Amino acid sequence: MMKMLIVDDEEKIREVLKEYAVFEGYDVYEAEDGFKAIEIAKKENFSIIIMDIMMPKLDGFSAVKEIRKFSKVPVLMLSARSEEYDKLFGFELGIDDYVVKPFSPKEVMARVNAIISRANQNDFEESLIFRGLKIDLAGREVYVDDDKVNLTPKEYDLLIYLATNKNKAIKRETLLSEIWGYDFYGDDRTIDTHIKMLRNNLRKYRDYIETIRGVGYKFNEKALIEDED
C-alpha cells in the first residue's frame, strides 16, 4: 500500500484530504507542523508528501529543505499564497507541484496520482547511458564520469524527459505540462532556470541539452561527438 504524509496545521484540511486519499487506497499519516513532518519522514518511506507552507514552529519551505537532505520523496505543496515567487522558490527547493487554497480535494488527488505516475513510469528500465553520463532510473540518480551529482527532483525529471525523447525538439509549454503537470501560466523562466541549473550539474556533458531557438530544448545525443569532429 502506498503511504502518504499530510502536513497542515488545520485539522479540517487534513481530515478532508485523508478521507479522499484513504478512499483511493493510501495509508495516510498526519503532521501538524514542519518539525513533526521531518520526524515522521525520517522513519517512514512515503510515496508522496502533501505539505502546507504557513505553519507554526516550522514552515513548509523549511521542512522541505530539511527533508531533501535525506529523501527525494515527491512533494505537493499547499498554500493560500499565489505569488509567483513562492511557487518558483518551492520548485527550486525540489517540490513537484503547487496548489493554491482554497482547492478541490479531487483536483489535489488527481495531481497526486499524476506525480506518482511520473515518478514510477521508468521503474522497469535500469539506466540510460550517454558516454560518461549515466542516469540510474531505478535509483533516480545521475553520475558524471562515475561521480554522483545531486539534482533536484525537477532537474532530474527534466533530464529524464529530454533524454527519453532524445533528438526531439520539445516546446517549453510541453515541458511545463509534462513535468509540472499543469500550465504554469506560460512562464518560460521556470523552465529556463531549471535547465540552467541542470546544465551546470552535468558539467562537461552540459552540451547534450541543446537550446532550440524560439521553441525550447532537445537532448542531442550526438552533441559531443559533433564537437570533436
Q: What percent of the chain has pLDDT over 90?
A: 48
In single-letter form, the type of residue at position 214 comes to G
Average pLDDT score over residue span 207-212: 94
H-assigned helices in 33-181: 34-43, 60-67, 84-93, 105-120, 153-164, 172-175
- For residue 222, the Cα-to-chain-centroid distance in whole angstroms is 27
Q: Which CATH class is domain 127-219?
A: mainly alpha
Which residue do the cell numbers 486519499 mark? Answer: 21
Task: Name the residue among 104, 112, 10 with its Cα closest to residue 54.
Answer: 10
- Asked if 159 and 199 touch (Cβ cutoff 8 Å), the reply is no
Sheet of 216-219: strand order equals 170-171, 216-219, 209-212
% of the chain residues with pLDDT over 70: 90
The residues pairing with 142 across neighbouring beta strands, listed in sequence order, are 135, 149
pLDDT, residue 229, reads 46
Question: What pLDDT is stored for residue 187 in this prediction?
Answer: 60
Q: Tens of pLDDT along 12-64? A: 999 999 999 999 899 999 999 999 999 999 999 899 999 999 998 899 999 99
pLDDT tens by residue, 103-156: 899 999 998 988 887 766 655 456 888 989 999 887 788 999 989 999 988 899
Spell out the domain ranges in the chain.
3-123, 127-219
Q: Return the pLDDT at 183.
A: 45
Second-level CATH architecture of 3-123: 3-Layer(aba) Sandwich (3.40)
Would you say residue 186 has pLDDT above 50?
A: no
* DSSP structure class, residue 73: -
The span from the CA of 97 to the CA of 99, in Å, is: 7
- In angstroms, the CA 161 to CA 132 distance is 19
